[in-house]
A and B are shown apart, each in its own frame.
Chain A
């Protein structure tokens, strides 16, 4: 089960954080922060030939003893980082990538909303519900 999903904008601050359980949020902040370098490294190392059909999905960034960290970058330099429980059986890259594509679609819908100003924290409930369903679905 995904324990944390974080959306980081191109200025490198977290735009949206969701974690289960909520108490571990600070710990996840530091893990995600350290993984940002890895995202940049993987993207620059990827080169033209390896770029995925939709979006840049470097996939597994690094495994820690409790969690595995996965990353995804959009064309507008927004990064999605997910922490998944290591105790589950290994997830195929396809599943993780399709999860990220759904996140990307929802995030695009949120940015197209004319009411909140760009740069405000994400508040629409649709995004929240979608993230909840994704977190429970990835098993």
Chain B
């Protein structure tokens, strides 16, 4: 289906465009690009957080919201469910995707692991934005150990 790759192409171009003006911007410039990507993801996440849960029942607790992220949100954006969700029941959640769509075309294994973080910034922002709309202040970070698997960690700061 062509429409599954449309977002992937757009995302790849977004990252390329933000990195293009200065291929080796140094730590300061890199940070700005990452921040821009994250804030774009945040805004998209905010609106998705309004629109997607419209048809679902009310969320009773934090775990319901995280399940919504793993199932409905991930399916809507990446056309697959999250592979695993772990929690320490104290506000930290680990979401693992063993074949993250945005990393699949790149490589399989340890090649390009250093380049991978810039392709995760948008998604981190997306998760953060959706959680913000649904009432949870959180910090989302992502790790790549070996492409195309990636893990997102989310700390809950407080619900508001």
Contact = CB atoms under 8 A, between A and B. Distances in A.
A23 B59 CA distance: 38
Interface in A38-78: 43, 48, 51-56, 73-77
B135 A54 contact: no
Interface stretch (A86-94, A106-114, A121-129): A106-114
B50 A54 contact: no
A79 interface: no
Contacts of B28: none
B47 A76 contact: no
B53 interface: yes
Given A76-B134, A118-B46, A112 B51 contact: yes
Given A76-B133, A76-B135, A111 B54 contact: no
A107 B49 CA distance: 13
Interface string A10-50: 10000000000000000000000000000000010000100
A10 B160 contact: yes
Nearest to B57: A51
Given A104-B54, A108-B51, A75 B59 contact: yes
Nearest 3 CB-CB pairs, A to B? Answer: A75-B53, A112-B47, A76-B133
Interface of B: 43, 46-47, 49-51, 53-60, 133-135, 160
